[in-house]
Amino acid sequence: MTYRICVVCSGNICRSPMAETVLRARLAEEGLDGSHTVDSAGTGGWHVGEPADPRAVAALVAAGYRAGAHDHTARRFERDWFDRYDLVVAMDRGHERELRRLARHQGDAAKVVLLRDHDPDAAPDDRDVPDPYYGEDEGFAACLKIIERGVDGLLDAGVVVRS
Q: What is the DSSP string of 108-149?
A: HHTTEEEGGGG-TTS-TT--PPPP-TTS-HHHHHHHHHHHHH
Residues classed as catalytic = 9, 15, 131
**How much is the CA Rg of the chain, to the nearest whole Å?**
14
Contacts of 41 (CB under 8 A, 6+ apart): 6, 7, 8, 12, 16, 75, 76, 77, 81
How far from the centroid of its chain's Cα atoms is residue 132's Cα? Answer: 14
| 3-state SS, one letter per residue, for 64-93 | CCCCCHHHCCCCECCHHHHHCCCEEEECCH
